[in-house]
Amino acid sequence: MIGRPRVHHRLTDSTNERAKELAAAGAPHGTLVTAGEQSAGRGRQGRVWTAPPGKALLMSVVLRDLGPGHELVPLAAAVAVCEACEAVAPSVGCAIKWPNDVWIDRRKAAGILVEGRPQQGWMVLGIGLNVATGAEEFPEELHETATSLAAAGATASVDDVLAALLPALHRRVGGDPDLVLGAWRARDALLGERVSWDGGDGTAQGVTDSGDLVVDTDSGQVELSAGEVHLRR
């Protein structure tokens, strides 16, 4: 089961760091680290992840021995976050921007950072979800692009979302790859959209069975396996 044992920190630098320490020391599959506040939260691509104390779900899970299914963990986690948000806030609809940003109303509500030591048989799945953050609490530069469940009109608490998310993660992470891919594709925010990245641009055409993004460009079709794509708004 994902969520046990659980360690909660009122304040820590990064739940991913704590979870990686626990994993390296042998913590079992499913070990959960949560925090009320992070002093050095990390995002993908070397970015920082910030959230006002107590208003976001900040969590990391130790995952072990997922075998070949491990390549779909980031996508599976994004599906689970969408399902949990919609379970606690039925008026909210979530979409996923490749590979694993969760969007509400085309703004980012949650991000996922997977780090791992596959050779030692473990990975850490970090999730940051803006739950109760008011629209005015986001830093100026994120006003147009970030959102939260509260900003989308939902009144769920961090604990409500966590309670919905743990069983959703249990179902999706390491679950049937076809079901994960089907659920991900049904929420694909980039499908048919113009996108650009370092080195090219084109029209997004969905994901391969290993989760790579397929893009039609002027010079043919490419598959992107990592990195960042931007929606051309």
Residues in contact with ligand BTN by the rule CB under 6 A: 14-16, 38, 41-44, 47, 49, 58-60, 101, 111-113, 126-128
Cβ pair 136, 124 in contact under 8 A: no
Give the nearer residue to ligand BTN in terms of CB position, either 126 or 202: 126
- The least CB distance from residue 102 to ligand BTN, in Å, is 9
Please state the closest distance from residue 18 (CB atom) to ligand BTN, in A: 9
Query: Smaller CB distance to ligand BTN: residue 110 or 183?
Result: 110
- Interior/surface letters 53-66, b for 16+ CB within 10 angstroms, e for the rest: eebbbbbbbbbbeb
Q: Which is nearer to ligand BTN, 189 or 203 (CB)?
A: 189
Token pair in block for residue 177: 């790859």
Q: How far is the CB of 23 from ligand BTN (least distance, A)?
A: 14
Q: Cβ closer to ligand BTN: 111 or 174?
A: 111
Task: Decide if 33 contacts 48 (C-beta within 8 A).
Answer: no
- Going by their DSSP bridges, the two strands 6-12 and 32-38 should be labelled as parallel
By beta-carbon proximity to ligand BTN, the closer residue of 14 and 133 is 14
Residue 8: how many CB atoms within 10 A of its CB? 12
Q: How far is the CB of 120 from ligand BTN (least distance, A)?
A: 20
Give the closest residue to 49 by CA, choosing from 108, 135, 105: 108
Task: Give the nearest distance from C-beta 112 to ligand BTN in angstroms.
Answer: 6
Helix (H, G, I), strand (E, B) or coil at 61: strand
Pair of tokens at residue 120: 């030692």
